[in-house]
Structure 1
Amino acid sequence: MFDNHVHCHEFPRDEITQYQKDWTLVCVSDDLESSKKTVELQGVVKCIGIHPWQVERAEPGDLNTTLRLIEKWEVPCVGEVGLDKKFVPHSYDKQVEYFRAFLKLARELDLVVNVHAPDAWQDALEMLRRADVDRAIIHWFTGPLQLLETIKDYGYYITINPAVAIQRKHQEVAKTADRRIVLLESDGPYEYRGMRLAPPVIKNTVEKLSELWEAPKDYVVEVVETNAKRLWRL
């Protein structure tokens, strides 16, 4: 199965090796240094970028160096990149500058964009569309339900996180979204309300989606895996 958004560089290497036995890991990066760690991983889908939370800490030149790293290593994905008005609104203008640069390169190289956008969902979608990006993941989507139709129309995807077990808004998203745009993620090793998020916890997400969709677990797995293979062109 696919974990479509996980911070592999934060896990011990032997733990990642164990997960690879059962999971296809889409490994996102947070900054230049973690991007360098991500490209060294073997047998994973590599995403390179600078997280909105890290934009204000980035050194002059980090953006261009990260962009060159994407080209040098020919990675299939840019991420974790995006906008955040909820947690770091004070750096929003610089976030827009960085996001625009990553989107331009993603369009030129036909890359997937792994997007973070709390309280900036609409802005992020508009920037993705203006940049003419074809493939994007809106990670851990908890935005307005009416945007789900826009995401589908643009050909993008959302990820459902294990937090769906307890996060009511995320449950509403999971129930409302067109099933053809749903992917799964762990966002590990993030800690959320006492849960240590990691790839194996996605099995609990499957169980919750089975409940929300009123469908067998095998059906849920088939749907999300078909979606992932379509996105990653496998």
Structure 2
Amino acid sequence: MTYIDTHVHIDFYPNPYDLALEYEKNKIYTLFVTNLPELYEKHFSRFSNFKYIRLCLGYHPQVSTEYVLNKTLFEKYIDTTRYVGEVGLDFFSGIGDREKSIQIEAFRYVTSPIFNIGRIYTIHSKGAEREVLDILIENEVKHAIFHWYTGKISVLKQAAEKGYYFSINPKMLMTKNGLNIIANIPVKQMLFETDGPFARINRNPIHPTDIPKLYSAVENEVVEFEKVCFSNFRRLLIEKDL
């Protein structure tokens, strides 16, 4: 069995390097997302030479009011990776126009055509699914994964028509909306994520050894999900180089 985890915050676990070794030992292809270019720089030397783990250069929208996007660092490291994330927009309740503008400017920048060719993005879109999709289309981003999608089905279908992927996590199996979203994702565009350590199971952070049983849970909704996910991930890796 070959497992994939397209979205995990390894550096938010108590012992990140030990967790990375656990992913390697279990041969789980993993996208290690970061929240800032500064964090990518911090982790680069230690986490960039794994076989199964890919370190992603990120700028999380939820930190945009505290940390200005360091464009110098982003440009310095963009050529060291084919994976960008976590990036996107988060228009949470009560967010002001200024904060939205900051997020939009940063997202437009990190997804711009000078950066996006041959790269895969893992995307945060909470409360801003329409705006995220519009920017991806505007910048002609070819390869993106909507992480833990929670928006309208109409926007999901438009994103799917553009060829974008969607990563499913176990928490989505626990809500009516989550199950409805899974049912509307084209099978050929489904991937898996843990979003660890944030998407917990029985209040416990998810670890690599939990992933086989989590795949089994998804298979109650998606037939042969393990084969589906691996096939889709392999296709996405090929597509990014075309």
Query: Which contiguous aligned blocks of 4+ residues in structure 1 show a shift greater than 6 angstroms?
Result: none
Report deviation, 1:36.
Answer: 1.4
CA distance in 2, matches of 1:88, 1:26: 31
Report deviation, 1:198.
Answer: 3.6
Q: TM-score w.r.t. structure 2 length?
A: 0.86
Cα deviation digits, residues 186-234 of structure 1 (max 9, x gap)? 1112154724234444334322322123x3xxx2100011001111229
Cα deviation digits, residues 9-68 of structure 1 (max 9, x gap)? 223211210121221111111013321134230212121021001111114x62332232
Identity rate of aligned residues, in percent? 24
CA distance 1:148–1:83, change in 2 (3 Å): same
Report deviation, 1:125.
Answer: 0.6
CA distance in 2, matches of 1:184, 1:69: 26
Contact 2:165 2:190 in 1 (8 A): yes
Q: 1:58 aligns with which of 31, 56, 67?
A: 67
Letter in 2 for 1:205: L
Q: Which runs of 5+ in 1 are unaligned?
A: none
Match for residue 23 of structure 2? Answer: 19
Instruction: Map 1:1-234; keep pairs closer than 5 Å.
Output: 1-11=3-13, 12=15, 13-22=17-26, 23-40=28-45, 41=47, 42-43=49-50, 44-59=53-68, 62-71=70-79, 73=80, 75-86=81-92, 89-90=95-96, 91-104=99-112, 107-192=115-200, 194-213=203-222, 215=223, 219-233=224-238
CA distance 1:56–1:88, change in 2 (3 Å): farther
RMSD: 2.1
Contact 2:90 2:125 in 1 (8 A): yes
Contact 1:165 1:205 in 2 (8 A): no
Letter in 1 for 2:4: F
Q: Which runs of 5+ in 2 are unaligned?
A: none
Q: TM-score w.r.t. structure 1 length?
A: 0.88
By relative contact order (CA 8 Å, sep 6+), the higher-ranking structure is 2
How many residues matched?
Answer: 227
